């Protein structure tokens, strides 16, 4: 069974979400404070973590920071509606996606399944190594190298980079990146794609002429340069 760790101080909400997840076949563990959540994240090896931002003592941003220091487990953030600042900081720290509260358990489960689907390879196409200039990507093993050096990406960063690699040399719209990389339609004013790609650029090296390998094409999307 796929193990999901819920970290949220709202006991009533956690119990409701847990009930729905169990009904959908998930194995669920719950933590109601950040410190316990960090311990569970390290010891229980969950497949995915649902993490609330607004918690007393140790908030979700700090919990995410500590989790990312040692793990790339997918993290889905729960943020207050309109809380753009925490949302962007969470994405910059390596959150895979977010869901604004209040949300329905059905929406949350849909987001969880979307993330998990993109972690597990489902076709033979994913097995081959793909090379674009100094960049090498192994979809099945979910590994990335730049000039022979391993690059540490979160699951969502890997998904987005894989989309660009498979379309190398062509412009990919933000809408397509959201659908293929995040598993959901692009929302209006949503900066999730931009934040993730900014992080990927920082982790990858530059080309021989000093350019970033991922270019922004104004009003069209993003392009992975194919040399």
Same domain, 162 and 128: yes
Same domain, 167 and 90: no
Task: Give the structural domain span for 144.
Answer: 124-224
Q: What is the CATH number of the domain that holds 135?
A: 1.10.10.10
Residue 67 has pLDDT above 70, yes or no: yes
Q: Which residue has the tokens 């009533």?
A: 12
221 φψ region: left (φ > 0), alpha (ψ -120 to 50), beta (else): left
Query: pLDDT of 1-10, one tens digit each?
Result: 799 999 999 9
**What residues form DSSP beta bridges with 206?**
212
Same domain, 8 and 105: yes
Same domain, 169 and 130: yes
* pLDDT above 70 coverage of the chain, percent: 96
Q: What is the CATH number of the domain that holds 75?
A: 3.40.50.2300
Residue 125 has pLDDT above 60, yes or no: no
Same domain, 109 and 130: no
Same domain, 10 and 109: yes
Same domain, 98 and 199: no
Q: Which residue has the tokens 């540490």?
A: 152
Same domain, 101 and 160: no
What is d(CA 219, CA 50) in angstroms, rounded to the nearest whole number? 33
Q: How many CA atoms lie within 13 A of 94 on its CB side?
A: 21
Same domain, 140 and 213: yes
Q: What is the pLDDT of residue 27?
A: 96
Q: How many domains does the chain have?
A: 2
What is d(CA 65, CA 82) in angstroms, rounded to the nearest whole number? 22
Q: Identify whether the C-beta of residue 200 lies closer than 8 Å to the C-beta of residue 154.
A: no
Q: How many CA atoms lie within 13 A of 187 on its CB side?
A: 11
Q: What is the pLDDT of residue 126?
A: 47
Last residue of a domain, one of 52, 85, 117: 117
Same domain, 168 and 105: no
Same domain, 61 and 146: no
What is d(CA 55, CA 79) in angstroms, rounded to the nearest whole number? 11
What is d(CA 224, CA 163) in angstroms, rounded to the nearest whole number? 10
Q: What is the pLDDT of residue 103?
A: 84
Beta strand pairing call for 221-224 and 171-172? antiparallel
Last residue of a domain, one of 117, 137, 162: 117
What is d(CA 35, CA 37) in angstroms, rounded to the nearest whole number? 5
| Span of 49-63, 106-120, 159-173, 206-220 with lowest mean pLDDT | 106-120
């Amino acid at each position: 069974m796929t193990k999901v760790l819920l970290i949220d101080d709202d006991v009533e909400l956690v119990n409701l979400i847990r009930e729905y997840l169990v009904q959908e076949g998930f194995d669920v563990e719950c933590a109601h404070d950040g410190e316990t959540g960090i311990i569970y994240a390290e010891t229980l090896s969950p497949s995915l973590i649902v993490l609330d931002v607004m918690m007393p003592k140790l908030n979700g941003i700090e919990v995410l920071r500590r989790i990312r220091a040692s793990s790339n487990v997918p993290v889905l953030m729960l943020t207050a509606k309109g809380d753009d600042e925490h949302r962007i900081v969470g994405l910059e720290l390596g959150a895979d996606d977010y869901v604004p509260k209040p949300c329905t358990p059905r929406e949350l489960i849909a987001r969880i399944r979307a993330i998990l689907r993109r972690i597990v390879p489902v076709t033979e196409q994913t097995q081959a190594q793909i090379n674009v200039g100094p960049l090498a990507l192994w979809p099945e093993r979910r590994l990335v190298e730049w000039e022979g050096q391993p690059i540490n990406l979160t699951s969502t960063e890997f998904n987005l980079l894989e989309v660009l690699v498979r379309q190398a040399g062509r412009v990919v719209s933000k809408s397509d990146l959201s659908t293929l990389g995040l598993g959901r339609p692009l929302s209006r004013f949503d900066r999730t794609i931009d934040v993730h790609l900014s992080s990927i650029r920082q982790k990858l090296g530059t080309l021989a002429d000093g350019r970033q390998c991922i270019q922004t094409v104004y009003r069209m999307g993003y392009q992975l340069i194919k040399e």
